[in-house]
Amino acid sequence: MGHLTGLASRLFNRLLTSRFKQAGINITAEQWGVILTLKQYGSISQSQICDILYLEKSSVSRSVEVLEKNGWVMRVKSETDSRTKLVNLTEQSLDVVSECTKIAQGVLDDSQNHIDLKGLNESQELLVKVVSNLRSLLKS
């Protein structure tokens, strides 16, 4: 099962990045993950992004740098800890977020084509359990 979930993830991300490019949006699936995290959690540090997405610091740093160059995120000093910079979505990113959300939903819909609702629900329940087990193992 591990190989299949990894393969499905890589294929999904490759298709997602391809569809972003077709739409004229220069963003990778990994960068999109950072944007989604900021959309969900608001202003957070790069370290928090790493923890949430289970990504290496160097990977998140590269993604944030590219997103910042594109004007979609900005880094600002934390008001409570001057050593920490927080990452925020910019106003400029809102249109991109909206368009990418539609594209991502399309990829998800296409990837679930010909799978009945019962199968989707069972798969989701199983993956939630697997993710929970893996998180518990990483904490111990």
Q: Write down the domain spans for the chain.
A: 2-139
140 residues of the chain, pLDDT tens digit each: 889 999 999 999 999 999 999 999 999 999 999 999 999 999 999 999 999 999 999 999 999 999 999 999 999 999 998 889 999 999 999 999 999 999 999 999 999 999 999 999 999 999 999 999 998 998 87
Count CB atoms within 10 A of the CB of residue 55. Answer: 18
DSSP state of 43: S
Helices (H) and strands (E) in the chain, counts: 6, 3
Backbone angles phi, psi at 44, to 5 degrees: -140, 165
- What topology does CATH give the domain 2-139? Arc Repressor Mutant, subunit A (1.10.10)
CA distance 7 to 3: 6
